[in-house]
Amino acid sequence: MLHVAGMLSPLAKLDNISGAALQMQRELQWFKRVEARLASLLMESKEYSEALSVLSGLIKKFDFSEQWFLFFPYLIKYKEKETSVVLSVKMVSQQQTKDSGSKKLGIVAPQDKSSKEMKSSKKMKFASSSAETESQTTISDDSKTSRGMSTMPRVVKRKLQKVRPIVEYNKMGKGIGQAHIEMQSYIGVLARSRVPLVDKKWSQIPKDVKEQIWEAVDMAFVVGQGGKKSVLASAAKKWKDFKSTLTRHYILPYTNDKEKLSHPPETYKFIEKAQWDAFVASRLSQDFESVHSQHAQIREKLEYNHRLSRKGYAGLEDELEETMAGVEIDRSTLWKRARQDKHGNIPDPKVAEKAKLIDDLQKQVSEGKVRVDGSKDVLTMALGPEHPGRLRGVGAGISPRQYFNLPKPQRVSFDDLLKESLRVLLQEETKKMEAKAREEALRMEARTKQLVEAEREHFLSQLSQLIPNFDPNILKQRISQSPKNPMSSDKASCSGGDVRSLHVEDDTAKDEEKKEEKREEEKKEEKREEEKEEEKEKEDEEKHDDKVIEVGDYSNMDAPSSLKSLCRYVETTILPEDKILEFKIDKEVFGSDRDTFLLPEDITQFAGMEEIGATVVAVYMRHLHDVLKQAKLCSMVGFIDPATVSANSGTVAERSRLVAARLQKTDGEQIFMMPYNPGRHWILLIVRAKKETVYFLDPLPGHRVVDEEAKNIVNSAIKIYNSHIGRAGRKAVIWKTLSGTPKQPSSVECRYYVMRFMRDIIMDPSLAFENTYAKGNQEASYPQEAIDEVRNEWAETVFQFIK
C-alpha cells in the first residue's frame, strides 16, 4: 500500500525506475493545472506501481520546472542524466527497524517520540479541522550524508487539506510554538525558491514576488492581524542568509576551481544557471570582497555569541515558562541560558565570567543589597549600558523604550493606548476651541459696540438735519439719563414722545427768563407724564386677572392650514394657562429616551419662517423615524440628536462619546443623519461608520468648508467606534462634500432646507443621495411648496403630542 507524506509503509527496493524525458523549463505555469490532480492521484493510488504509472503519464503530458519537487516534497529526488530524469521516492518507515538490509533498500527510519518535535508539551492549534503534525521529509543526494534542503511537505499537505495552524505570540508580540517554527521554515523555503538569486537589496525585489510569498504563507498559517510585515521581514532575512550561505560554502572556497563554479550546487538545482553565473561574478568582484572583509571584521568583534539558532529568545522564554512556572523571567536569565550548551555548560571563558557575575548580582538583588530601577537592571550592571535602539537578551525588534517604559508583567493593550491618545487629543482640541470661542466672543462684543455707536451717530446726524440748530449733546445727555429711552430696547422704534417733547429754542432768543420758564414747564410736563404712566400700570395690574386674550387673525398668514391651527391653539390655550408642550421622544429614534418640550415662541417662530432651535429639528426627525418605521427601513437609516452635538452642547470630547455611542448601535451599512449647528447656521452630516465616510451637505451657496469642530467630533467618534469593534481603521476619515444640493435664497431658510434634505433622502429607497447631490447637479432653491410640506408634517406631529 502507498502512503504519502509521513504515512508511508516499507516497500521493496526500487531498481531501474525509468521515466519519460522531462524538458526542463523555467516557468511555474504548470502548477495550478497539475497541483490538485497530482495530489489526489498520489493519495488515491493503492500500489506504488500504480502511482508510478500515473506519474509517468503526467510527465509525458506536462512540462515541469526544476522546482516542481518543492511543491510535492514526498517525491524526493531526481537526477538529470543527459536526456532522462530518474525519479525515486524516499519511503519513510512508521516503525524503527534494526534490519541492516533496510539501508540497502533505501528505507529511512523516523525519529522516535523523544525527538525535538515531540518534546514540546504544547499542541498546535488549528483554524479548521483537527490535524496532526507529520514528520519532516527532506531532499538529499545519494553522495551526501547531510539532511539536504528542507521542503516542508507537511505544510503542503495541510494546504491541500485546507488546514491552517494558528501562530501564537508572546506578550512582546514575538512568535512562539511549533506553528511559528514551521512557518519560519516554510518562509525559508519560499524565500530560496521564489525570489530570484540576484545581487540586489530586498527593497529592489518586485512587489509581486513579495506578495506571492505572503499569500503562500497566509494560505498555510493563521498569522494574525499585522502579520504581513513580520512575514516579509523574515523572508528578507532568510533570503539574505541564503545568499550568504551560497557565498561562504559554494563560492569563496572554490575561487580557483572554475568547474565547480560553472553550475549551481547539487543541493540547489532549482537555481537557474544564468542567475547563478551572474551571482558568482558579483561575489568574486573587488567591491564585494571589500564589503565582505569589513563585515567579517565587525563579526569578529562580537564577544558573547548565543547558541539559540532559530529558536530565538522568544522560543527560549517559552520553554523556560514551562519549567519555571510562576517566576518572572528576567532578561539576564535569558541572556545566560542562551549561551549554555545542551548540558548546561558555557564553553566560552569570557561568557562564563559574565554569567557568574550575573548570578552574583541576582543573588544580591534577591537579598536586597542591590536595587534595580528601570533600564538599570542586572544585565545592564553586568554588561554595561545599552546602546540606543537595541536591547540585549530579548531578541530583535524590541527597543529599550518598548521594554522598560511599560508596566510589568502586563503590557498596555492597544485599546488602552488608543483611548489615552484620544483623550489627549480631545483635551488639546477642547482647549483650542475654548480659546477660539473666547476670542470670537470678544471680537463680537467689540463689533457690536462699534455698530451701536455708528447707528447712534447716524441717528443724531439725521436728527440734526431735520431740526434746525439742533445740539446733539443735549440728546446724548438725555439718552444717558432717561431709563425709559426707546433706544435702550432692541425692539424699540425711533418714534416716541421723548424726542417730540424736546423744546429747542431758537438762537435768537436772548431772554434768559424765557429759557428758565421753558425748562420749568418741561420738568412739570415730564412729571405729569410719569404720574399718568404709573396710574396706567396700576390699572393694568388690577385688570390682569380679568384680561381677555385677543386672538390674532391667521387667515392671511403664509403657512399651511395645520400650522395656522397650531398657532391659534397656542394663543387660546397655552399662553393663557402659561403652559409648555412637554413630550417624550422614544429610545429608538436617537438611541436613548429623551424628555423635551416646545415653548410657544418655538411654534410661532416656526410659523413665521424665523430662526429655530435644535428641539424643533428633533421633532421633525421624530416624524421621519415614523416614516422609516412604516417602510421598514430603520435598519438602513438612523438619526443623531442635534441637541447633543451642536455648538454649546458640551465639550468636544463629550459630544464625540455621544456620537460614538450612537454609532455602536449601527446595523451593517446603516447611515446616520446628523444635523449640526456650529453657530447661527444649520448643515447636515451623514455618517457611514462602516466605510469611515462622512458626507457634508450645506444649503448655503458657494464653496463651503466643513466646520473644524464638527470634523473633530465625528473623526474622534469613528476612532472610538473602530476601537469598540476591534478594527484598526483608516489613517484618516473620508469627508465628501455634496455640493449639488438646492441652495437657500436668503439667510434664514437653512434649518428648513436641512429638514427637507433629510426628507428627500429617506424618500428614495435606494439611498442614492451621493449621486443625487453630487458636484455638478446643483439645483435652484426649493419652491415654497416643498418647504411647506415639511412645515405641515411638523405641525401634524406636534398635534399628535398634544392629543
Q: Is the model's pLDDT at 80 over the cut of 50?
A: no
> What would the DSSP string read from start to end of 58-124?
HHHHSPPBTTHHHHSTTS-EEEEETTEEEEE---B-SS----THHHHHT-BPPP-TTSHHHH--SPP
Please check whether residue 669 is in contact with residue 690, taking contact to mean a CB–CB distance below 8 angstroms: yes
Specify which residues 597 forms β-bridges with. Answer: 582
For residue 693, give the 3-state DSSP assignment: strand
Q: Mean pLDDT highest for which of 384-398, 563-577, 582-596?
A: 582-596
Cα pseudo-dihedral 200, 201, 203, 204, rounded to 10: -10
Peptide bond preceding 409 in cis form (omega within 30 of 0): yes
For residue 611, give the 3-state DSSP assignment: coil
Say how far apart CA 225 and CA 417 lie, in whole Å: 17
CB-side neighbour CA atoms (13 Å) of 794: 31
pLDDT value at residue 37: 52
For residue 265, give the 3-state DSSP assignment: coil
The residue whose grid cell reads 519560499 is 190
The residue whose grid cell reads 469593534 is 725
Pairing mode of beta strands 637-639, 671-676 = parallel
Under the phi-then-psi rule, with left for phi > 0, alpha for psi from -120 to 50, and beta for the rest, what region is 384? left
Q: How far from 358 is each of 198, 380, 383, 391, 739, CA to CA, in Å?
A: 45, 10, 9, 17, 70
Please check whether residue 644 is in contact with residue 787, taking contact to mean a CB–CB distance below 8 angstroms: no
Give mean pLDDT, residues 416-436: 76
- How high does pLDDT run on average in the chain? 71
Domain boundary among 348, 373, 408: 408
pLDDT value at residue 393: 74
Residues 580 and 697 in one domain: yes
Q: Mean pLDDT highest for which of 99-108, 123-132, 392-401, 561-570?
A: 561-570
Q: How far from 737 is each of 516, 636, 679, 713, 730, CA to CA, in Å?
A: 72, 21, 20, 17, 19
CB-side neighbour CA atoms (13 Å) of 434: 10
> What would the DSSP string read from start to end of 695-715?
EEE--SSS-----HHHHHHHH
Q: How far from 430 is each of 272, 708, 719, 732, CA to CA, in Å?
A: 63, 12, 17, 20
Evaluate whether residue 619 is within a structural domain.
yes
Evaluate whether residue 588 is within a structural domain.
yes
For residue 694, give the 3-state DSSP assignment: strand
3-state secondary structure string, 440-477? HHHHHHHHHHHHHHHHHHHHHHHHHHHCCCCCHHHHHH
Of all residues in the chain, the percent with pLDDT exceeding 70 is 63
Q: Is the model's pLDDT at 713 over the cut of 70?
A: yes
Residues 124 and 229 in one domain: yes
Evaluate whether residue 511 is within a structural domain.
no
Q: Of the candidates 303, 290, 191, 182, which has an alpha carbon nearest to the alpha carbon of residue 246?
A: 191
Domain boundary among 258, 283, 301: 301
Count of structural domains within the chain: 4
Residues 233 and 209 in one domain: yes
pLDDT value at residue 571: 79
Q: Which residue range is the domain that position 39 belongs to?
A: 1-110
Residues 79 and 21 in one domain: yes
With b meaning 16 or more CB within 10 Å and e meaning fewer, what string describes 181-218?
bbbbbbbbbbbbbbbebeeeeeeebeeeebeebbebbe
Residues 630 and 720 in one domain: yes
Burial of 588 (0-12, 13-18, 19+ CB in 10 A): middle
> What would the DSSP string read from start to end of 166-183?
BPEE-TTS-EEHHHHHHH
Say how far apart CA 294 and CA 291 lie, in whole Å: 5
Instruction: Give the torsion sign (CA, 275, 278, 284, 290).
Output: negative
Evaluate whether residue 659 is within a structural domain.
yes
**Cβ count within 10 A of residue 653:** 18
Residues 658 and 594 in one domain: yes
Evaluate whether residue 361 is within a structural domain.
yes
For residue 376, give the 3-state DSSP assignment: strand
Please check whether residue 190 is in contact with residue 217, taking contact to mean a CB–CB distance below 8 angstroms: yes
Min mean pLDDT across 406-415, 495-504, 622-631, 661-670 is at 495-504
* pTM over 0.75, yes/no: no
Grid coordinates in use for 678?
456650529
**Cβ count within 10 A of residue 165:** 24
Helix residue ranges per DSSP H, 175-311:
177-194, 207-220, 227-246, 258-261, 273-283, 286-300
Say how far apart CA 390 and CA 379 lie, in whole Å: 14
Please check whether residue 74 is in contact with residue 137, taking contact to mean a CB–CB distance below 8 angstroms: yes
**For 280-294, how does the pLDDT look when each residue is reduced to its tens digit (9 = 90+)?**
998 888 888 888 888
Contacts of 189 (CB under 8 A, 6+ apart): 70, 150, 151, 152
pLDDT: which is higher, 589 or 400: 589
Evaluate whether residue 783 is within a structural domain.
yes
**For 491-530, how does the pLDDT look when each residue is reduced to its tens digit (9 = 90+)?**
333 333 333 333 333 444 445 555 566 667 776 776 676 6
Q: Is the model's pLDDT at 758 over the cut of 90?
A: yes
**For 567-585, how does the pLDDT look when each residue is reduced to its tens digit (9 = 90+)?**
888 778 777 766 777 878 8
Residues 697 and 716 in one domain: yes
Residues 28 and 71 in one domain: yes
Say how far apart CA 36 and CA 285 lie, in whole Å: 45
Of all residues in the chain, the percent with pLDDT exceeding 90 is 6
CATH number of the domain bearing residue 740: 3.40.395.10
Q: How far from 615 is each of 603, 684, 739, CA to CA, in Å?
A: 11, 15, 27
3-state secondary structure string, 480-496? HHCCCCHHHCCCCCCCC
Residues 682 and 761 in one domain: yes
**Cβ count within 10 A of residue 510:** 8
Per-residue pLDDT band for 756 (boundaries 50, 70, 90) equals very high
**For 181-224, how does the pLDDT look when each residue is reduced to its tens digit (9 = 90+)?**
888 888 988 988 889 988 888 999 999 999 999 988 988 888 87
Evaluate whether residue 538 is within a structural domain.
no
Min mean pLDDT across 29-43, 406-420, 506-520 is at 29-43
Residues 156 and 193 in one domain: yes
Per-residue pLDDT band for 532 (boundaries 50, 70, 90) equals low
Backbone angles phi, psi at 190, to 5 degrees: -65, -40
Please check whether residue 265 is in contact with residue 250, taking contact to mean a CB–CB distance below 8 angstroms: yes
**For 440-460, how does the pLDDT look when each residue is reduced to its tens digit (9 = 90+)?**
777 777 767 767 777 677 666
Q: Of the candidates 454, 447, 456, 515, which has an alpha carbon nearest to the alpha carbon of residue 480?
A: 456
pLDDT: which is higher, 453 or 685: 685
Please check whether residue 507 is in contact with residue 501, taking contact to mean a CB–CB distance below 8 angstroms: no
Q: How far from 237 is each of 200, 219, 221, CA to CA, in Å?
A: 13, 21, 19
Q: How far from 566 is each of 571, 600, 627, CA to CA, in Å?
A: 9, 10, 22
Residues 78 and 205 in one domain: no
Residues 660 and 737 in one domain: yes
For residue 497, give the 3-state DSSP assignment: helix
Domain boundary among 378, 408, 438: 408
Give mean pLDDT, residues 663-680: 82
Burial of 604 (0-12, 13-18, 19+ CB in 10 A): middle
Task: Calculate Rg over the CA atoms of the chain.
Answer: 44
Evaluate whether residue 484 is within a structural domain.
no
Q: Of the candidates 646, 658, 653, 725, which has an alpha carbon nearest to the alpha carbon of residue 425?
A: 653
Per-residue pLDDT band for 344 (boundaries 50, 70, 90) equals confident
Under the phi-then-psi rule, with left for phi > 0, alpha for psi from -120 to 50, and beta for the rest, what region is 726? left
**For 462-484, how does the pLDDT look when each residue is reduced to its tens digit (9 = 90+)?**
666 666 666 666 554 444 443 43
